[in-house]
């Protein structure tokens, strides 16, 4: 079972939960893997349950996806909790998403923390931002840090955006370099921007 369910950084024998992409486009597994995955989900494998939910969501089976994500989350799968919150948020149920993400964030999930920061920014809740933004910056996963910088940038807080981009750059993220280069160029610092874009061209893009 398996190539579809692994991040590139994971060892070949380890099955990992699939985190819902923002655009929901994920590569579908072969039929044989789907049959095996469904059997594993029915045997209460929390990772299989969450990954089956992702497939069902891709197939527009929202009820089935919500069932398996909820079941997986109830079994303690934090990625499924994050995905469940994402679906509720996109359906306009910010309160339900917040309740789930608060629990996921308390368990250390940086993407759930990011979701909470975005919600707090939208409602002008400085306390909510301060609760989770420093925690995101302190961890070592580049994607949510870069995304945090984008959230600050989109709200016009360039000081905190650059702070996040610099932190993600320390982790080697080419996306963060590109975003900060845009800020530098907008400030007229074109030589610095060009040098940073040159670094970004050979850097890894963290996902």
Instruction: Label each residue of the chain as H, E or C.
Output: CCHHHCCCCCCCCCCCCCCCCCCCCCCCCCHHHHHHHHHHHHCCCHHHHHHHHHHHHHCCCHHHHHHHHHHHHHCCCHHHHHHHHHHHHHCCCHHHHHHHHHHHHHCCCHHHHHHHHHHHHHCCCHHHHHHHHHHHHHCCCHHHHHHHHHHHHHCCCHHHHHHHHHHHHHCCEHHHHHHHHHHHHHCCCHHHHHHHHHHHHHCECCC
Confidence (pTM): 0.84
Same domain for 103 and 118? no
Same domain for 138 and 207? yes
pLDDT score of 32: 74
Same domain for 122 and 188? yes
CATH of the domain at 4: 1.25.40
pLDDT score of 37: 83
Domain count, the chain: 2
CATH of the domain at 142: 1.25.40.10
Q: Which domain covers residue 133, as residue numbers?
A: 110-207
The CB density around residue 150, as the number of other CB atoms within 10 Å, is 17
pLDDT score of 9: 35
Q: In the block, which residue shows the tokens 């089976």?
A: 61
Same domain for 6 and 96? yes
Same domain for 51 and 97? yes
**Domain boundary residue among 107, 139, 172?**
107
pLDDT score of 17: 62
Successive 10-residue mean pLDDT values, the chain, 207 residues: 35 54 61 82 89 87 93 94 93 95 95 95 96 96 94 96 97 96 97 96 86
Same domain for 124 and 22? no
CB 17 within 8 A of CB 80: yes
């Amino acid at each position: 079972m398996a190539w579809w369910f692994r991040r590139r950084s994971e060892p070949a024998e380890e099955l990992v939960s699939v985190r819902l992409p923002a655009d929901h486009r994920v590569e579908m597994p072969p039929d044989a893997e789907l049959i095996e995955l469904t059997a594993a989900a029915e045997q209460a494998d929390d990772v299989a349950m969450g990954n089956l939910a992702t497939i069902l969501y891709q197939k527009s089976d929202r009820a089935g996806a919500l069932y398996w994500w909820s079941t997986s989350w109830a079994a303690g799968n934090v990625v499924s909790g994050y995905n469940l919150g994402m679906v509720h948020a996109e359906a306009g149920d910010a309160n339900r998403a917040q309740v789930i993400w608060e629990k996921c964030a308390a368990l250390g999930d940086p993407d759930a923390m990011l979701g909470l920061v975005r919600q707090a920014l939208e409602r002008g809740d400085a306390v909510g931002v301060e609760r989770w933004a420093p925690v995101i910056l302190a961890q070592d996963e580049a994607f949510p840090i870069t995304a945090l910088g984008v959230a600050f940038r989109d709200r016009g807080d360039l000081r905190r955006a650059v702070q996040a981009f610099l932190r993600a750059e320390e982790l080697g993220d080419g996306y963060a370099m590109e975003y900060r280069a845009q800020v530098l160029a907008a400030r007229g610092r074109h030589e610095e921007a060009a040098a940073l874009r040159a670094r970004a061209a050979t850097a890894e893009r963290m996902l």
